[in-house]
Structure 1
Amino acid sequence: MIQRLIETKKAAPLFQGWHDTLLRSCMQGIMGEIYVDDRNEPCSAFALLGDFCLLAGEPSSALLRFQYDLGRWETRFLVPKGELWEQAIRETFGSRAKEFTRYALTKEASFDRAHLSSLVDSLPPAFRLVEIDEILYHFLLSASWCRDLVGQFPTYERFRDLGLGFAILKDTEVVAGASSCCRYHNGIEVEVDTKTPYRRKGLALACSAKLILACMERDLFPSWDAHTEPSLHLAEKLGYTLDYPYQTFELTKTT
């Protein structure tokens, strides 16, 4: 019987060698959930946080179907640990699961403070960079294009205590942001979004640089996994280096 695992350390052997920070959040009990086929001696497991589902252990179609029915969602990203899981995803979901490549950046980047500060200072005068406060939190949560900046924190108090982020304004309009999509003990996972008409203006670069500097002041590591090649190139401009590409499946739920 598939159940949520409270003693997450029991699933640690299944995820051995996996350094994803979303997994750390789940394993540390800070955010997200772990589900297993057996609470005492699990053979198959998945970690679920937001739109991401990380699959490990023995491939299980039952586990895949269980996560499909779990919660209200429209799109979920399945990250398999190994080719056998990839095959199980294809067999279970067929064309509903579309394959693409994400990019893991190294978790020990060496950031240049002066370079990052210069990127923040390069923000054009028409724009203003501010820290996400309670008013901005509620706005970001209400707008589809930027909801992921704060969406994994169910209340502002939760974001204030665990999260960290910045937004860029043009007059009173929010046009870009860089924030924590999740938190683990000594770091965050970075989420960056820019409103479509304002892309390619250096806003994401300036906002991300500000977030990294704030993390450095707090002794937090700003982990970055790139969803696309442009996101990868943005990260490299900030001081990250590619660790490895990995296979991901975008799963769409049918009604």
Structure 2
Amino acid sequence: MQEVKKEQYSDVKVLIHHKETCCPTFVYSILEQTIPGVVYADDQSFLIGTSSGIYYVAGDERNQNVNECIVELHKKRAESKKRFTLYSPNRSWDSVIKTVLRDELNQMMRYALSQQISAKKAFQLPKGFTLKRINENIISTSTEFHKAYYEEYWGSVSNFLKNGFGFAVLYDNHVVSECTSIFLGGDHAEMDIYTSEEYRGMGFAYIAGIAFINDCLEKGVTPSWDCDVSNKSSIHLAKKLGFKISTKYSIFFKKSG
């Protein structure tokens, strides 16, 4: 397989859009050159990955070229002790990945949730709490969505501030809860939410999520939500925000130890 030049990313995007029904948001983030990444392709298959080591494979699973590329890429990432997470589009690919990597990776099932909303939802903050758009100052004081987080998923804080968005609930200038765009592409904004432990169960994740969704409506972007099938609290919050389970898929990641 050949590494695709950035000038040809738009062609790959068109092909994937027509062929794949369950394509992660980060794939479009790369193809639209919103975040750094790499694209390998031939006339049968694609392998697309972020700089942080999250990959998506698609196309003909019988293609030996892409299978060999997966093995070699995994080997290089493992030798340098770097992250390797591979998103699979379907069960056929699940079987191939397990075969070519000889069960060297853990398999985890995940849900992709989606929603179709047309009207903003209202919310009310308790007294003393404020809602702010995520900025450099909030990032510098956040315990979860901090500088390292945005460097991993966006390449830099400045790139996120330029192309991404999110909201934080604060109390006395302390970040209580946040909802940010972990990835943005293909007219979709994938949500990532975190609430400080001492403030959980008080509705702040819902407020941050609604603020994010409302902003998506203004931007003409569709919010999306992915989580592990065993993450009941995440699924519950997603459904409360109006999401419905649309697809079940697998990811493969490095085994611990």
Which residue of structure 1 lines up, in the alignment, with residue 122 of structure 2? Answer: 117
Per-residue CA deviations over 1:38-64 (Å, capped at 9, x if unaligned) read xxx443322213553111123443222
Change (3 A) 1:251 1:4: farther
Q: Give the paired residue count.
A: 242
SS in 2 for 1:224: strand
Residue identity matched to 2:145? C
Letter of the aligned partner of 2:246 in structure 1?
A: D
Deviation at 1:21, TM superposition (A): 2.3
- Kept in 1: contact 2:35–2:155 (CA 8 A): no
Please report how far the alpha carbon of residue 2 of structure 1 lies from its aligned counterpart in structure 2 after TM superposition: 4.6
**Residues 197 and 46 (structure 1), Cα distance of their counterparts in 2 relative to 1, 3 Å cut:** farther
Q: Does 1:22 align with 2:26?
A: yes
Q: Distance in 2 between matches of 1:232 and 1:208?
A: 13
TM-aligned CA deviation for residue 33 of structure 1: 2.8
Displacement of 1:100 in angstroms is 2.1
Residue 20 of structure 1 deviates from its aligned partner by 3.1
SS in structure 2 of the partner of residue 159 of structure 1: helix
Measure the CA separation in 2 of the matches of 1:175 and 1:20: 28
Cα gap change, 1:81 to 1:168, in 2 (>3 Å): same
Residue type of the partner of 1:169? Answer: L
Q: Which amino acid in the other structure matches residue 131 of structure 2? A: L
Match in the other structure for 2:251: 248
Stretches of 4+ aligned residues off by more than 6 angstroms? none
Q: Hey, what does 1:233 align to over in structure 2?
A: 236
Which residue is equivalent to 1:129? 131
- Aligned residue runs from structure 1 range 89-238, under 5 A: 89-94=97-102, 96-106=104-114, 109-113=116-120, 116-118=121-123, 121=124, 123-125=125-127, 127-140=129-142, 143=143, 145-147=144-146, 150-151=150-151, 152-184=153-185, 186-227=187-228, 228-238=231-241
Give CA deviations for 1:13-52 in whole Å, capped at 9, x if unaligned. 4661234322222222322434325xxx443322213553
Is the 2:112–2:247 Cα contact (8 Å) retained in structure 1?
Answer: yes
Q: Give per-residue Cα distances to partners, 1:186-205, cap 9 Å, x unaligned.
A: 34221112233433222211
SS class of match (1:117) = coil
Answer whether contact 2:139 2:145 (CA < 8 A) is retained: no
Amino acid at match of 2:48: A
Q: How far 1:78 moved relative to its partner? A: 1.7
Distance 2:90 2:227 in 1: 20
1:62 is the counterpart of 2:68: yes
CA distance in 2, matches of 1:223, 1:82: 19
In structure 1, how many angstroms separate the alpha carbons of the residues matched to 2:102 and 2:122?
Answer: 47
Structure 1, unaligned runs of 5 or more: none
Evaluate the alpha carbon distance shift between residue 14 and residue 240 of structure 1 in structure 2; reply closer, same or farther with a 3 A threshold. Answer: closer
Change (3 A) 1:83 1:219: closer
Distance 1:124 1:149, change over 3 A: farther
Once the two structures are TM-superposed, the CA of residue 94 in structure 1 deviates from its matched residue by 4.7
Identify the range of structure 1 (1-10 vs 240-249) with the bigger mean alpha-carbon deviation. Answer: 1-10
Deviations 1:64-112 (A, max 9, x none): 2343225977544321123332123223445542222211123x51254
The answer for the alignment partner of 2:3 in structure 1 is: 3
- Structure 2 gaps of 5+ residues are none
TM-score by length of 1: 0.78
With structure 2 as the length reference, what TM-score do the two structures score?
0.78
Determine the C-alpha separation between the residues in 2 that align with 1:43 and 1:219: 33
RMSD over aligned CA atoms reads 3.0
**Percent of aligned positions that are identical:** 21
What secondary structure sits across from 2:122 in the alignment?
helix
Q: Counterpart in 2 of 1:52?
A: 54
